[in-house]
């Protein structure tokens, strides 16, 4: 038996496999294909204070081993989320990580205040890195100071109970310094990585294909970027839990991110191709851990960082 359980802050999860924010809507859509209780948690689509239409279509372009999306945080707003989506997930006995996104530092705190009294939440993901906003200056995770201030505000509003996971962007020069900043400000864990800012030009119209012009690249195409980001941050902050994501499509991919330092794995784009992918990946991961002699996920976390042994040099 492999012990699959993992923790982020004071939150315990029976499995290290999570949905990825924005890739499971609010959970209902996947319930026909998987038992939501069998995974670590449902990470909800990032919710904002008000209902939001998102960006114009086209919102998607498939690229080699990946896709570019430009959804722009379409959603029902926090009040509708708390009155409909969250109670449904709780009624299904799913563990829930609520992802929040704001346009201002104050909006994040407002969202955190509404979550404080909501029952059934395991942790809060603070999405400060959505690439699909009109003003790139508003991608908080590209600015060390803004990142810190968002997390500081959420921490102060939430109090000490709910773990905070800060979701960071790989589109920065010095990821480690941003990670350290948000940890200092009170983040219990880090979600690495959000999608990579990108663009596709349509050869028929000879203009940017997406309605929002730029989008976020996801899928296996970005997996090596995720592995690098997780490895770098785990090396600098070995005691901070990392929820790893970026193109995980198999148990092999999940194990790679775990070896780099992830304590949990979010499956995103792979669910678009196969809504039951997360369960398949979980089963493959168990097999791969077992073959390598691990008896728990925890033993494998960051294993790629271990010192080189004498025998390996000979």
Partner 1 sequence: MTNINKSSERLIATVVSNKRVGQYHQILLNVGQMVNGCKPGNFVAIKVGGDNAKMILRRAFAISRVSHSGPYGGSMELIVAPFGQGSKWLCAQIEGATIDLIAPLGTAFGIPTEPVRALLVGGGYGSAPLFGLAEVLKNRGCRVDMYLGASTGGKIYAPMEGKRSVNVLKIYTEDGSMGERGRVTEPIPGLIADGLVDVIYSCGPMPMLRAISHIVAGSDVVHQCAVEESMACGVGICMTCVLPVADSEGNVSMKRSCIDGPVMDGSQVMWDLVGKIPEAHA
Catalytic sites, residue numbers: 130
The answer to the question of residue 32 lying near partner 1 (CB under 8 A) is yes
Minimal distance in Å, beta carbon 16 to partner 1?
21
- Residues 6+ away with beta carbon under 8 Å from 126: 99, 100, 108, 150, 151, 154, 164, 165, 166, 167, 187
- Residues 6+ away with beta carbon under 8 Å from 296: 2, 3, 4, 5
Of positions 8, 17, 23, 112, contacts partner 1 by CB under 8 A: 23
Report d(CA 306, CA 156) in Å as an integer: 36
Minimal distance in Å, beta carbon 129 to partner 1?
18
Q: Compose the 67-96 pattern: x for residues touching partner 1 by CB under 8 A, - for all others.
A: x-x-x--x--x----------x--------
Report d(CA 122, CA 43) in Å as an integer: 10
Query: Is the peptide bond between 261 and the residue preceding it cis, with omega within 30 degrees of 0?
Result: no
Q: Compose the 175-214 pattern: x for residues touching partner 1 by CB under 8 A, - for all others.
A: ------------------------------------x---
The answer to the question of residue 33 lying near partner 1 (CB under 8 A) is yes
Of positions 2, 5, 14, 28, contacts partner 1 by CB under 8 A: 28
Of positions 3, 62, 106, 145, contacts partner 1 by CB under 8 A: 62
Contacts with partner 1 in 254-313 (CB under 8 A)? 269-276
The answer to the question of residue 135 lying near partner 1 (CB under 8 A) is no
Minimal distance in Å, beta carbon 155 to partner 1?
29
Of positions 14, 54, 87, 144, contacts partner 1 by CB under 8 A: 54
**12/88 with CB nearer partner 1:** 88
Structure tokens at 135: 């003003």
* Of 53-61, 93-101, 157-165, 254-262: span binding partner 1 (CB under 8 A): 53-61
* Of 35-43, 55-63, 156-164, 222-230: span binding partner 1 (CB under 8 A): 55-63
On whether the CB atoms of residues 285 and 17 are closer than 8 A, the answer is yes
Minimal distance in Å, beta carbon 219 to partner 1?
5
44: nearest Cα among 85, 92, 90: 85
**29/287 with CB nearer partner 1:** 29
The answer to the question of residue 58 lying near partner 1 (CB under 8 A) is yes
Report d(CA 159, CA 256) in Å as an integer: 34
**What does DSSP say about strands 207-208 and 201-202: parallel, antiparallel, or unpaired?**
antiparallel
Number of Cβ within a 10 Å radius of residue 34:
20
- Residues 6+ away with beta carbon under 8 Å from 206: none
Report d(CA 33, CA 89) in Å as an integer: 15
Report d(CA 103, CA 295) in Å as an integer: 43
The answer to the question of residue 60 lying near partner 1 (CB under 8 A) is yes
Report d(CA 218, CA 247) in Å as an integer: 6
Binding footprint of partner 1 on the chain (CB under 8 A): 22-25, 28-33, 45, 50-60, 62, 64-67, 69, 71, 74, 77, 88, 211, 219-220, 249, 269-276
């Amino acid at each position: 038996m492999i012990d699959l359980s993992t923790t982020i802050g004071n939150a315990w999860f029976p499995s290290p496999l999570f949905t990825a924010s924005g890739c499971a809507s609010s959970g209902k859509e996947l319930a026909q294909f998987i038992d939501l209780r069998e995974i670590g948690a449902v990470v909800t689509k990032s919710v904002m204070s008000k209902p939001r239409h998102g960006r114009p279509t086209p919102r998607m372009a498939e690229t080699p081993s990946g896709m570019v999306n430009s959804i722009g945080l379409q959603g029902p707003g926090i009040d509708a989320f708390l009155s409909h989506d969250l109670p449904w997930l709780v009624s299904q006995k799913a563990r829930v990580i609520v992802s929040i996104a704001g346009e201002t530092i104050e909006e994040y705190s407002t969202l955190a205040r509404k979550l404080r009294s909501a029952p059934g939440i395991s942790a809060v993901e603070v999405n400060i890195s959505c690439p699909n906003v009109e003003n790139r200056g508003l991608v908080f995770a590209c600015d060390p100071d803004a990142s810190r201030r968002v997390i500081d505000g959420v921490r102060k509003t939430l109090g000490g109970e709910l773990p905070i996971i800060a979701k960071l962007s790989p589109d920065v020069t010095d990821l480690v310094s941003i990670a350290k900043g948000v940890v200092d400000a009170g983040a219990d864990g880090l979600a690495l990585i959000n999608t990579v800012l990108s663009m596709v030009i349509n050869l028929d119209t000879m203009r940017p294909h997406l309605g929002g012009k730029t989008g976020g690249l996801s899928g296996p195409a970005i997996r090596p970027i995720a592995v690098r980001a997780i490895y770098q941050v785990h090396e600098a902050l070995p005691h901070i839990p990392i929820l790893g994501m970026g193109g995980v499509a198999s148990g092999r991919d999940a194990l790679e991110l775990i070896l780099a330092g992830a304590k949990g794995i979010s499956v995103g784009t792979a669910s678009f191709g196969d809504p039951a992918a997360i369960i398949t990946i979980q089963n493959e991961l168990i097999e791969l851990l077992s073959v390598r002699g691990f008896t728990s996920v925890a033993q494998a976390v960051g294993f790629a960082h271990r010192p080189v042994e004498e025998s390996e040099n000979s």
